[in-house]
Homo-oligomer: A and B are copies of this chain.
């Protein structure tokens, strides 16, 4: 899950003078906010600060980020000729700032033994934004177009799969030790539709970065119906939302794959003893190895910083690590 963000005072200070969009394009500041949660909490890895929609911009789609309504596309894609207007993503040229931010974070955190995680949107989720043109509760326009013109939708997914693969390869080359693919809106498709529509282009993305050796983490929001299909994606780690306990997830996906998750981020609004208890409860649903402890979705902007710290410290204690671990390079 994205770690940097509005819940952190240090991040908000940066944002006072820099828009979200400008921050994504500023390698120095993006690196700075990426490192903030590592300094603050001693987490085991840093997730690069960026946005999945920078890839659409790199393909020639104009995206405006509005503080209230979220991202908005100037010209949503609704038919085949819209997709023809997309240019091929050339991440080295068009997304150089993401690569540069990763290089800076890797060089700052490498000596501290903290890896950097890059990311991209899954083809289905990128297509949802490209077609809907804005964020949405149900992305019903995108789903309508999928029903009305599946051939257009499939060709769009193919283009986005190529672009996402190139974006991830560039990030790994720049120093990302692992990459995460966010299918935030995968849960809007039914079980069979996700397997038929969303999985094939996703598998292509994962297969296309396989030779670089970086583990691939797959997050699907609303993952409950899709767990078995997610396990067929080729990903090394399945990152799941909070809706099913991890023992049930494990039962459904089998043993040969790591899990990441899955505390409900709204539980961080409880009194601190309850946050710790909820974290221990979550960990207890997956007592064996093969778990990357995390939330089941992104941190909310109003999350109390102390609750994030309580979560991280409870996880570290359960793993037998000292409260701040070796985040500062000191033996713990």
Residues of A within 8 A of B (CB): 137, 140, 143-148, 187, 189-193, 222, 224-225, 242-245, 248, 264-271, 274, 278, 296, 300, 302
Contacts and interface: CB of A to CB of B under 8 A. Distances in A.
A287 to B, nearest CB: 17
Contacts of A222: 187, 222, 243
Dominant SS among interface residues on chain A: helix
Nearest to A270: B147
A148 B190 contact: no
A230 to B, nearest CB: 14
27 contacts: A140-B266, A140-B300, A143-B264, A143-B266, A144-B266, A144-B269, A144-B300, A144-B302, A147-B268, A147-B270, A147-B274, A147-B278, A148-B270, A187-B222, A187-B243, A189-B243, A190-B242, A190-B243, A190-B245, A191-B243, A192-B245, A222-B222, A222-B243, A224-B224, A224-B243, A225-B243, A225-B244
B191 A269 contact: no
A118 to B, nearest CB: 26
A300 B142 CA distance: 13
Nearest to A144: B269
Given A148-B270, A187-B243, A222-B243, 6 more contacts: A143-B264, A147-B270, A190-B242, A191-B245, A191-B248, A224-B243
A224 B140 CA distance: 19
A165 to B, nearest CB: 28
B147 A269 contact: yes
A146 B267 CA distance: 8
Nearest to A297: B138
Contacts of A271: 148
Nearest to A222: B222
A146 B266 CA distance: 9
A148 B267 CA distance: 8
Given A147-B270, A187-B243, A137 B137 contact: yes
A243 B193 CA distance: 9
Nearest to A193: B264
A147 B278 CA distance: 10
A266 B225 CA distance: 18
A278 B224 CA distance: 23
A274 B278 CA distance: 46
Nearest to A307: B147
Nearest to A265: B140
A143 B242 CA distance: 13
Query: Which 6 pairs of residues, A with B, have the shortest CB-CB distance?
Result: A143-B266, A144-B269, A147-B270, A224-B224, A137-B137, A225-B243
